[in-house]
């Protein structure tokens, strides 16, 4: 049976067909939907971990126990999981283990565009790269077999266009003849102390050589000879663009991008006149081909930055572009926090207090955007607290008071809590605000260890964040209602003054949470247009439900108006109106 | 180059249901026996940003994104977003647009005006332009929420996919209790 599946759906399906027993992940665009699809298969135990390192460790445990395990993350997640990964290549596996790294060339929703393929070489792990959903399913399935056959974890690299693109997939059956998992001791292989690791390392190197030799016969790489004046080595989504733009060129399509099939590359190179490597981001394949002494054109014509598109590929080969209608100049449409989002009040206060805000990653990063404009740094998940401590180490006593870290609940549990330990341990005077909206909102509302539910939607223990902060040693912990602007500002101001570590925790949920006991819409608000003076005070919060209606006479005058379909009744705009003309409709 | 391939772009604002519409379209194309690929960026788009979804179908489709300037049909769910994406369309392409304006943040905050004369601008560039009041027709069909299905109906007339496949796709993708309304909305859009 054929179905249209996204790359992520197909990876989940591939894991299912491979007899995978455990799937573990921390969400991150564009990888998130893989686990949101493995939950459809009751045979797979699917769970969210607090971060990528734990997710990989859970998968490693499942593999060591003898079951097949899938672990997925976005590209930057591999940075967090790198520590176990680099030694996992030495231990190898028992049950097959496939680690999916989903890259985001062009940074559609990421803070950098690192190229995960470098991890395969660095960690000495084979890497597969599918070019459509069909291959996503097949390579995931075969990845488990390869993993067991070569006693190594296997990485599968996806990208935004692969993970979120959809194409046709033929579905297969789940394998049923796998050995049942069962404890088995093998310390020489699984206890990586120096003596054991020294024995394992040469095996890893030999394994990669063997795999490179066997690669020509594996079902991942294929030579397609057409016109031999141009030969192109390519992989992943770039293969599709090459076929689209240069349909007559010969191609060596790599499905395994590490280790490379050296013999196949030499053979292909000898059959074509001019050899190119077409790849997004780093010259990963190109450098290795050049190191083989084969002349090749690559990054001279394809950018190191951003994603490839058919148009960009056409430009690279000097082909004519389609005639393009000139673009109209149009107001931009950047993303915005939802109407009634509990994060707004905090950023409104921080702006008024002229705080220096070390930020973190989540919906609240949008607090950077006007009109709130209250975030000064954002580097990676969990970084806000460490950065706040660092800033206070160098600035004057007066400026130290201005330093505030903001971090979401999911991010705090991901890697923020370690920063807090450091803050208390080394007595930084900065203030931390934990924006606890009860969910991992940015990536599409995933549960986390503090939300009270598992990925399977089963109720579970919720981490008590205030108690956790207390256990870390924070003496001043304040809970605030971020929808109460005055209280929020007052509490933040008091804690900024305090020359000791302090934590403020907000207590209102994300408005998109579907559980009625967690979030319910309030009464809808309206502006009394007769009495609205047009002072624009309510616009300062940036709620998308509030619209400025210009008088239309060319002046700056006008009135505010609230869209009843969008308003969630958070009450924040009412508090901003000095003329008391905003209120809930009876 | 991609002669027999149909290139369709669905554009609008995050939260408008564009992904579902492009899924119904892809499903119908698959049922009609075509190879189909579809691509879009979701992530930040959930927070009300611009959304562009690409659907391509034909005998064999390689790239999941429509090559720049090769769009056959621009299917716009909102006027400003429709205009923004006109450069993706080939000269002589078709525009089917919903007659709806959604203000972006700068307009909501009174810093810019929502641009005027958009309909005229589209008309001036693309002769094959259909403006549909999706909301109104959907209300007439019995459910304002079926506006996207009305628009799909309007677009369907310009594609070589028989009606039966559209209806089958709706059956698969739309919840059972909303199916009748959606089928009616689809037919009203198709007759528009
Ligand atoms: C290492 C890493 N993993 C995952 C992500 C993707 N990501 C960005 S923000 C975020 C979660 C934010 O949740 P939370 O801190 O609760 O803030 P909210 O969005 O709910 O406001 C995730 C998972 C990332 N950027 N980096
Ligand atoms: S999804 Fe939730 S946390 Fe994110 S902007 Fe909307 S209300 Fe705020
Ligand atoms: S009450 Fe005001 S600020 Fe809150 S959602 Fe409604 S319009 Fe927006």
- Taking the CA of residue B6 and the nearest CA in chain A, the distance in Å comes to 14
Task: Select A525-584's CATH number: 3.30.70.20, 3.40.50.970, 3.40.50.300, 3.30.360.10.
Answer: 3.30.70.20
E strand residue ranges, A41-124: 45-48, 69-74, 97-103
pLDDT of B142 reads 84
| Mean pLDDT value across residues B61-70 | 94
Indicate left, alpha or beta for A18 from its phi (over 0: left) and psi (-120 to 50: alpha).
alpha
Helix boundaries (H) for chain B: 18-31, 79-84, 105-108, 118-125, 134-141, 147-156, 163-173, 179-191
pLDDT of B143 reads 84
Q: Within 10 A of A534 (CB to CB), how many other CB atoms are there?
A: 18
pLDDT of A324 reads 76
**Pick from A483, A177, A189: nearest CA to A344:** A483
Query: Is B83 in the A-facing interface, judged by CB distances under 8 Å?
Result: yes
Which residue of chain A is at minimal alpha-carbon distance from B36? A167
- Taking the CA of residue B40 and the nearest CA in chain A, the distance in Å comes to 7
pLDDT by residue, tens only, chain A of 586 residues: 899 999 999 999 999 999 999 999 999 999 999 999 999 999 999 999 999 999 999 999 999 999 999 999 999 999 999 999 999 999 999 999 999 999 999 999 999 999 999 999 999 999 999 999 999 999 999 999 999 999 999 999 999 999 999 999 999 999 999 999 999 999 999 999 999 999 999 999 999 999 999 998 899 999 999 999 999 999 999 999 999 999 999 999 999 999 999 999 999 999 999 999 999 999 999 999 999 999 999 999 999 999 999 999 999 999 998 877 777 789 999 999 999 999 999 999 999 999 999 999 999 999 999 999 999 999 999 999 999 999 999 999 999 999 999 999 999 999 999 999 999 999 999 999 999 999 999 999 999 999 999 999 999 999 999 999 999 999 999 999 999 999 999 999 999 999 999 999 999 999 999 999 999 999 999 999 999 999 999 999 999 999 999 998 888 899 999 999 999 999 999 999 999 999 997 7
Q: Which residues in chain B have Cβ-Cβ distances shorter than 8 Å to A363?
A: 47
Strands B35-40 vs A166-170: parallel, antiparallel or unpaired:
antiparallel
Tokens of A562: 């609230």
CA A297 to chain CA centroid, nearest Å:
32
pLDDT of A103 reads 98
User: Are both A2-215 and A222-316 of the same fold?
Assistant: yes
pLDDT of B2 reads 41
ipTM of the complex: 0.96
Banded pLDDT at B48 (limits 50, 70, 90): confident
Map tokens 């101001």 to a residue. Answer: A493
Cβ neighbours for A139, distance < 8 A, ≥ 6 positions apart: A14, A128, A129, A130, A156, A220, A255
Query: Is B168 in the A-facing interface, judged by CB distances under 8 Å?
Result: no
pLDDT of B46 reads 67
> A222-316, which class in CATH?
alpha beta
> A2-215, which class in CATH?
alpha beta
Q: Within 10 A of B120 (CB to CB), how many other CB atoms are there?
A: 9
**Dist CA A366 CA A372 (whole Å):** 9
Contact A333 B104 (CB under 8 A): yes
Identify whether the C-beta of residue A496 lies closer than 8 Å to the C-beta of residue A431.
yes
Residues A243-279 as b/e (b if ≥16 CB within 10 A, e otherwise) read bbbbeebbbbbbbbbbbbbbebbeebbeebeebbbbb
Residues in chain A: 586
Domain ranges of chain B: 2-104+116-191
Identify whether the C-beta of residue A516 lies closer than 8 Å to the C-beta of residue A347.
no
The number of the ligand 2 atom at minimal distance from the alpha carbon of A511 is 7
Question: Is the pTM of the predicted complex or chain greater than 0.90?
Answer: yes
Banded pLDDT at B4 (limits 50, 70, 90): confident
Domain ranges of chain A: 2-215, 222-316, 343-506, 525-584
User: Ligand 2 center to residue A365 CA distance, Å?
Assistant: 11
Query: Is B80 in the A-facing interface, judged by CB distances under 8 Å?
Result: yes
pLDDT higher than threshold 70 for residue B1: no
Q: Whose CA is closest to atom 4 on ligand 3?
A: A570
CATH code reported for the domain at B2-104+116-191 = 3.40.920.10
Question: Pocket residues for ligand 1 (CB within 6 Å)?
Answer: A 26-28, 52, 74, 76-77, 80, 361-364, 381, 408-411, 435, 437, 439-443
**Pick from A360, A428, A346: nearest CA to A391:** A428
| Mean pLDDT value across residues B66-83 | 95
The number of the ligand 3 atom at minimal distance from the alpha carbon of A541 is 3
E strand residue ranges, A322-473: 356-358, 403-408, 431-435
Identify whether the C-beta of residue B10 lies closer than 8 Å to the C-beta of residue B53.
yes
pLDDT of B43 reads 61
A343-506 fold:
Rossmann fold (3.40.50)
Mutation probe of ligand 2 site: the residue of A27, A109, A341, A543 with most atoms within 8 A of C-beta? A341
Q: Whose CA is closest to atom 4 on ligand 1?
A: A28
User: Ligand 2 center to residue A512 CA distance, Å?
Assistant: 7
**Pick from B11, B158, B153: nearest CA to B82:** B11
| pLDDT tens, position by position, B136-165 | 998 888 888 889 999 999 999 999 999 999
Contact A109 B41 (CB under 8 A): yes
pLDDT of A224 reads 98
Q: Within 10 A of B130 (CB to CB), how many other CB atoms are there?
A: 15
């Amino acid at each position: 049976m054929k179905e249209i599946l996204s790359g992520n759906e197909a990876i989940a399906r591939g894991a299912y067909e491979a007899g995978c027993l455990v799937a573990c992940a921390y969400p991150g665009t564009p990888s998130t939907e893989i686990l949101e699809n493995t939950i459809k298969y009751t045979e797979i135990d699917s769970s969210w971990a607090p971060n990528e390192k734990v997710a990989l460790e859970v998968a490693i445990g499942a593999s060591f126990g003898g079951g097949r395990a899938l672990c997925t993350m976005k590209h930057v997640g591999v940075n967090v999981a790198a520590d176990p990964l680099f030694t996992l290549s030495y231990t190898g596996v028992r049950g097959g283990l496939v680690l999916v790294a989903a890259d985001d060339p062009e940074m559609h929703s990421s803070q950098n565009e690192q190229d995960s393929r470098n991890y395969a070489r660095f960690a000495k792990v084979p890497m597969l790269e599918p070019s459509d959903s069909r291959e996503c399913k097949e390579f995931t399935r075969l990845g488990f077999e390869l993993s067991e056959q070569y006693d190594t974890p296997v990485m599968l690299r996806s990208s935004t266009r692969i993970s979120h693109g959809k194409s046709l997939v033929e579905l297969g059956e789940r394998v049923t003849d796998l050995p049942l998992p069962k404890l088995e001791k093998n310390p020489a292989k699984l206890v990586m102390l120096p003596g054991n690791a020294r024995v394992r390392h040469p095996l890893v190197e030999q394994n990669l050589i063997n795999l490179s030799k066997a690669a020509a016969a594996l079902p991942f790489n294929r030579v397609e000879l057409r016109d031999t004046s141009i030969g192109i080595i390519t992989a992943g989504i770039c293969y599709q663009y090459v076929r689209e733009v240069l349909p007559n060129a010969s191609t060596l399509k790599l499905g395994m991008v590490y280790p490379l099939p050296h013999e196949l590359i030499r053979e292909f190179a000898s059959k074509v006149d001019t050899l190119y490597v077409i790849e997004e981001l780093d010259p990963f394949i190109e450098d290795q081909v050049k190191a083989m002494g084969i002349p090749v054109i690559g990054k001279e014509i394809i950018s190191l930055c951003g994603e490839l598109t058919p148009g960009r590929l056409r430009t690279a080969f000097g082909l004519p572009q389609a005639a393009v209608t000139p673009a109209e100049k149009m107001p931009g449409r950047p993303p915005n926090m939802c109407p009634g989002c509990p994060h707004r009040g905090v950023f409104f206060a921080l702006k008024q207090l002229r705080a220096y805000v070390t930020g973190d990653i989540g919906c609240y990063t949008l607090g950077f955007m006007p009109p709130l404009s209250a975030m000064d740094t954002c580097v990676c998940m969990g970084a806000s607290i460490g950065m706040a401590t660092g800033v206070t180490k160098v600035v004057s006593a007066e400026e130290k008071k201005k330093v505030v870290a903001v971090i979401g609940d999911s991010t705090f549990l991901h890697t923020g809590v370690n920063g807090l330990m450091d803050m208390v341990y080394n007595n930084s005077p900065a203030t931390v605000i934990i924006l606890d909206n009860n969910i991992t909102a940015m990536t599409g509302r995933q549960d986390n260890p503090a939300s009270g539910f598992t990925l399977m939607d089963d109720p579970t223990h919720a981490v008590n964040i205030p108690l956790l902060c207390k256990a870390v040693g924070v003496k001043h912990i304040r809970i605030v209602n971020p929808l109460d602007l005055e209280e929020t500002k007052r509490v933040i101001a008091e804690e900024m003054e305090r020359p000791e570590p302090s934590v403020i925790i907000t207590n209102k949920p994300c408005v998109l949470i579907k559980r009625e006991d967690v979030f319910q819409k309030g009464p809808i608000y309206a502006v009394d247009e007769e009495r609205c003076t047009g002072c624009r005070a309510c616009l300062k919060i940036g709620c998308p439900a509030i619209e400025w209606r210009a008088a239309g006479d060319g002046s700056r005058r006008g009135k505010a108006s609230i869209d009843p379909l969008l308003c969630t009744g958070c009450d924040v705009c009412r508090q901003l109106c000095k003329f008391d003309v905003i209120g809930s409709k009876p | 180059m991609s002669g027999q391939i149909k290139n369709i772009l669905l554009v609008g604002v995050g939260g408008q249901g564009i992904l579902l519409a492009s899924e119904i379209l892809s499903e119908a194309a698959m049922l009609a026996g075509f190879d189909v690929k579809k691509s879009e960026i979701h992530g930040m788009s959930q927070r009300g940003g611009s959304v562009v979804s690409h659907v391509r179908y034909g005998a064999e489709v390689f790239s999941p994104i429509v090559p720049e300037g090769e769009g056959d049909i621009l299917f716009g769910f909102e006027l400003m977003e429709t205009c923004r994406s006109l450069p993706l369309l080939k000269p002589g392409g078709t525009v089917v647009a919903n007659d709806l304006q959604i203000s972006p943040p700068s307009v909501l905050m009174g810093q810019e005006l929502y641009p005027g004369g958009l309909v005229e601008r589209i008309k001036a560039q693309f002769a094959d332009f259909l403006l549909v009041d999706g909301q109104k027709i959907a209300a007439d069909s019995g459910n304002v929420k079926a506006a996207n299905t009305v628009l799909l109906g309007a677009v369907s007339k310009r594609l070589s996919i028989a009606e039966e496949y559209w209806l089958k796709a709706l059956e698969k993708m739309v919840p059972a209790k909303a199916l009748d309304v959606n089928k009616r909305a689809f037919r009203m859009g198709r007759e528009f």
